[in-house]
Amino acid sequence: MNHYAYVLMMLDIARQQSASGERRFREAQLAANMATETPGLRRLAARLVASVSRGSARIVRKLDDCVADELGRTLAPAE
């Protein structure tokens, strides 16, 4: 085997290692960015879900009261 083949193999290995290093660097940057942004997004999502839950509970309670009043009137003995 001549020395050109060795040089080409070494260049290919260096290219693969460089690409792997760049990929690890980008992953680390992405993880750092997500760590700083995630708590705010989670907090916003939690507040949104809590407000929807509270609103639906309030609506159900109002409907429950109305239906209970109507059932009480319809089940009362007729005079």
CA angle 50, 65, 69 (to 5 degrees): 170
The Cα 37–Cα 13 span in angstroms is 36
Assign 33 a pLDDT band (cuts: 50, 70, 90). confident
Average pLDDT over every residue of 51-75: 79
What pLDDT score does 76 carry? 60
What pLDDT score does 75 carry? 60
What pLDDT score does 36 carry? 66
pTM of the model: 0.41
Rg (CA), the chain: 33
